[in-house]
Amino acid sequence: MNPKRDRYDSIVVGGGFFGAYFAERLASKGQTVLLLEREKELLSRASLVNQARIHRGYHYPRSVLTGFRSAVNFARFITDLNGCVSGTYESYYAIARRESNVTSLQFKRFCATIGAPLHRAAPRIQRLFNQDLIEAVFAVEECVFDAFALRQEMRRRLDHSRVEVILSTEVARVESGNEGPCVYLAERANLSRPRIQGVNVFLCCYALLNTLLLRSHLPAVPIKHELTEMALVQSPEELREIAITVMCGPFFSMMPYPTRDLHTLSHVRYTPHFAWTDSDRYEADQVLDRHGRSRFPEMIRDSSRYLPLLSDSSYVESLWEVKAVLPQSEMNDSRPILMLQPQPGIFCILGGKIDNVYDVWDLYDGAEARAS
C-alpha cells in the first residue's frame, strides 16, 4: 500500500499506543496525518507485551512526582478509554520486611500524599502471605487494560479522524530539508512513493527509536535497553480474580492479563535477561530473536516464598519484549517522559508507561499553543 500523498502535515512513525494516540490527536486539529507501522497490526509490540497495568501511583514511592502524575493520569485514562479497562478484580500491594526500599508506614504516607486510596487488606488475604517475610498487605484500587480492546478502539478513532495508516512498512531514515523533514521508506517492490515529506515527523518507535535516529545520522538518546520476560500463568483458583504486587525492591507482581484470560508473573530480579546501550551496537530485533530459556522456575520459586499459594500456578508460555529505560529511572524508579527535537520538525517521543502519553501530548500541545 502506497501513501496517498507526497506531503502531510504530520507523519507519525510507530503504531503503538503512543503513535496511534498522537496521530489521532493531530488529525483532530484538522491536520493531514500519515501513520507508519512496520508490523502487520497496530499495538502489537510493547503496547501488547506488558503487564497491562494502569498505574495509579502505588508503584512509585521513591518518586512522588511520578506517583502523583500516575494518579492524575489514571483518572484520565479510565475516562478516556473506559471500554478498554478491566477493574473487576481485587488488587493488593504487600510490603516486604527485608530488602524493601519502603516501610509500610512510609508507603501509607506516600499514598496519602498522592491521593491514592489505601486500606488494610482483609484477614483472608493477609493469611495468604508468609508473615515472616511480609510486613503489611494493603488493598488498593488499580485497573488493567485489554490490549486487544485498546487496539480496536484506537483503530476506530484513527478511521474516524481520517488518519492514513500504512502497516508492514519500515522507515529507513528521516532527513531534514528546506521544506520540512522527509521520511524515506525501506526498499520494497511496487512502492511508488519511497520519499514522503511532512511539516512535522514524530518518532514514536520506543525501543527502536535510536536505531532510526542513528540510521538518520541524528544523535542517539541516552537509553538503556533490556530484554524482558513475563511469564503467562494459569493462577490457582483462589487467586484467579486477584492482582498482587510485593514491593519495593527485588520482588514480583502477578497481574491479570485480560487479552489471554491469564495472569502475568514478572520479577524485578528475573524479568530482565540482558541489558545494553546503543554504544554496544546490539540490534533490538536480533536480541529478541535470540532470547534464552525462560526464568519462570526462578520467578515462581522466589515469589512462592512470599505467597506460598503461587507454587500451584501453571506455566503457559513467556512474553518477550525489549524495554527502553531512560537514565533517570535507574536512580529513583521514576518514569520520566521524553520529548526531544533533534532537528526542526522532527520530534522524538518516549514514555515509560502507557498513561505517560497524556503528559507527553500535553507537553507538545502546550508548546505548540505558546508558539502560535
Return d(Cα 168, Cα 41) in angstroms, integer. Answer: 8
Please determine, for residue 190, whether its predicted confidence score (pLDDT) is greater than 60. no
Return d(Cα 137, Cα 95) in angstroms, integer. Answer: 6
Eight-state DSSP code of residue 76: H
- List pLDDT tens digits, range 174-186: 999 888 899 999 8
The mean pLDDT of the chain is 93
The share of the chain scoring above pLDDT 70, in percent, equals 95
Please determine, for residue 328, whether its predicted confidence score (pLDDT) is greater than 50. yes
Return d(Cα 162, Cα 138) in angstroms, integer. Answer: 45
Question: For residue 213, what pLDDT is reported?
Answer: 94
Question: For residue 371, what pLDDT is reported?
Answer: 80
Question: For residue 189, what pLDDT is reported?
Answer: 43
Eight-state DSSP code of residue 295: -
Residue with cell 520459586: 301
Across the range 62-72, mean pLDDT stands at 93
Question: For residue 307, what pLDDT is reported?
Answer: 98
- List pLDDT tens digits, range 76-133: 999 999 999 988 899 999 999 999 999 999 999 999 999 999 999 999 999 999 999 9
Please determine, for residue 285, whether its predicted confidence score (pLDDT) is greater than 80. no
The share of the chain scoring above pLDDT 90, in percent, equals 82
Question: For residue 280, what pLDDT is reported?
Answer: 66
- List pLDDT tens digits, range 200-258: 999 999 999 999 999 999 999 989 999 999 999 999 999 999 999 999 999 999 999 99
Model confidence band, residue 290 (pLDDT cutoffs 50, 70, 90): confident
Please determine, for residue 333, whether its predicted confidence score (pLDDT) is greater than 90. no
Return d(Cα 175, Cα 3) in angstroms, integer. Answer: 18
**Lookup: cell for 114:** 498522592
Question: For residue 41, what pLDDT is reported?
Answer: 97
Instruction: Tell whether omega for the bond before 143 is within 30 degrees of 0, i.e. cis.
Output: no
DSSP 217-250: T-PPP--EEEEEEEEEEE--GGGTTEEEEEESSS
Model confidence band, residue 334 (pLDDT cutoffs 50, 70, 90): low
109 or 285, higher pLDDT: 109
Across the range 276-303, mean pLDDT stands at 85
Question: For residue 191, what pLDDT is reported?
Answer: 60
Across the range 291-313, mean pLDDT stands at 96
Please determine, for residue 356, whether its predicted confidence score (pLDDT) is greater than 90. yes
- List pLDDT tens digits, range 245-282: 999 999 999 999 999 999 999 999 999 999 988 776 67
Return d(Cα 224, Cα 212) in angstroms, integer. Answer: 16
In this prediction the pTM is: 0.94
